[in-house]
Structure formats: C-alpha cells, structure tokens
Amino acid sequence: MASYDLEEQDQIEELKAWWSRYGGAIATALVIGALVVIGIQGWRWWTNKRAADASVLYTAVSEAVRSKDAAKAQDAIRDLTDRYAGTGYAPRAALLYAKMLYDAGDRKGASAQLSWVIDHATEDGLKAVARYRLAEIQIDEKQYDPALATLDARHPASFDGLYADLRGDALAGAGRSAEARSAYQAALAKLDPQSQYRSYIQVKLDSLPGAAAAVAQAAPAGAIAKP
C-alpha cells in the first residue's frame, strides 16, 4: 500500500510539474480557441442578419419599381446602397432602380445607378450588365466615344456577342461605317446560330452605307447574278 501511495504521489508531482510548465500555454490556447469559435459564430450571425436586412430592402425596391412608386424606391435604394453595399442585393436593386429611372426619362439618374453597380458589384456578370446598359444610354445621348470606352472594359465571354453588337451601334452612330461593319460581323460570329437576335443585327449590317458594295467585293467572281 505504501508503495502504491508513493507511486501515486510521484505521478501527482509529475503532473504538477507538467502543468506548471505547460498549463499557462494550454489555458491560453483554450481561451484563444474559444474566442475563435465565438468570433466565427458571431461573424456568421452578423453576416446572416445583414443579408436578411438587405433582402428586405431589396424586396422594397422591387415592389416600388413594380408599382412605379419613385419615392419609396429612392428611400429603399439609398438605405440599401449606404448600409449594405457589400451584399449581392445592393447591385441587383440598383439595376432595377436604374431601369425605373430610365423608363421615366431620367437618363442621368439611371447612369449614376449603373456606374454605382460597376464600381461596387463583386460579380462580373452584374458589372457586365451595368456596362451594357450604361453604353446604351451613352449611345442614346450620342456620346459615342464614352460608350466605346465603356464597352472596352473586360467582361465575361458570354457577353461578347452583345457587346460587339452595341459597339457596332456606337461606331455606326459616329459615322465609322467600316468599323461598325466589322463589329456587327463579330457579333454575328459570337452569337448562337439559332438566336433570333441575329436577324436584327443583320438588318443593321445591311443598312450600313456601302453595304451592297461590301457584299459585292466580298463575293467570289460570278457569284452575283446580273439583272
């Protein structure tokens, strides 16, 4: 029994020595671990709450746009872009609001919303949509060079056909028919062969000055029948 007590006492002394040496570090690690877990849970809660709040404001913007309630849409979009700019809801709501402003004839306001999306959205697809719509407004305003600069920005490959078509519109508006022709041809090459949109581009291509001469020049000898 005495031997057992001595062995137990030795183990206790070893444990005390070990804890004296490593206990502080272990306690610190446990505290840090607990803080990390609490921090992660707190971050998730905060992120989820922000997303939920942003979702409510996005719904408010969407409903205001549908009902054409400009004042309600303006208040909701201001809160959303000021407080929740980093969420995915803000740029989507800004696109809706920009469409509402454009339809109401406020091209300047629509352009401002689209520029906000370009500057703040984290998704390339949303940026591409905003640039496309901004370029449309710039072309409407006969701001052809700014429109071309807008369309020169990097964008997903899925937008190549649409961007090339709009470049054709800007170049045609600027009187640069040869370049417009190349842009429209590039658009046709990028679009799905089954897309009905191709016929619309073809009409614009055929309407360019000198279109008939360009076709004749491109055709092989003997391909064009005499009247």
- Residue-wise pLDDT tens digits, 30-50: 556 555 555 555 545 545 566
pLDDT of residue 222: 39
- The reply to whether 115 and 190 lie within a common domain is no
Nearby residues of 63 by Cβ (< 8 Å), 6 or more positions away: 69, 72
More confident residue, 145 or 19: 145
Mean pLDDT, to the nearest integer, of 126-155?
A: 97
Contact 173, 187 (CB under 8 A): no
Please say if the pLDDT value at position 83 is more than 80. Answer: yes
Q: What is the C-alpha separation between 43 and 63, in angstroms, rounded?
A: 30
> Is 177 in the same domain as 117?
no
- Do 111 and 178 fall into the same domain? no
CATH code for position 104: 1.25.40
CA atoms within 13 A on the CB side of 152: 7
Residue 191 has pLDDT above 70, yes or no: yes
Q: What is the pLDDT of residue 43?
A: 47
Whether 71 and 116 map to the same domain: the answer is yes
Per-residue pLDDT band for 28 (boundaries 50, 70, 90) equals low
